[in-house]
Amino acid sequence: MPLYNVTLKENASAQELDKAKQKAKDQGGEIKHEFTLIKGFTVEFPDDKVGVLSTNDDIHVEQDGEVKTQGK
């Protein structure tokens, strides 16, 4: 299953974060990492279920991927 980064708006409450994590688990996801500087987490999630998280305007979902920088 692919990994997805799920982030909530800065003003989201701790309850909203917990609700998003529970929703991910209820739909077959497994929390792999919780962020400390921002409100969010990384979840391993079935492709066909990821839409349930992105239906909320306060939640941003993107597939995790490798980040590269260009050197000179």
Q: What is the pLDDT of residues 32-44, one digit of tens each?
A: 999 989 999 999 9
Residue 2: what pLDDT? Answer: 85
Average pLDDT over residues 50-66: 74
Domains of the chain, earliest start first: 3-63 (3.30.70.80)
Amino acid making up residue 25: K
Q: Alpha carbon of 58 to those of 14, 66, 68, 69, 70: distances in Å?
A: 13, 25, 28, 29, 32
Average pLDDT score over residue span 28-33: 93
Q: Would you put residue 16 in left (φ > 0), alpha (ψ -120 to 50) or beta? A: alpha
Whether 71 has a pLDDT exceeding 90, the answer reads no
Where residue 69 falls among pLDDT bands split at 50, 70, 90?
Answer: low
Give the pTM. Answer: 0.78
More confident residue, 46 or 50: 46
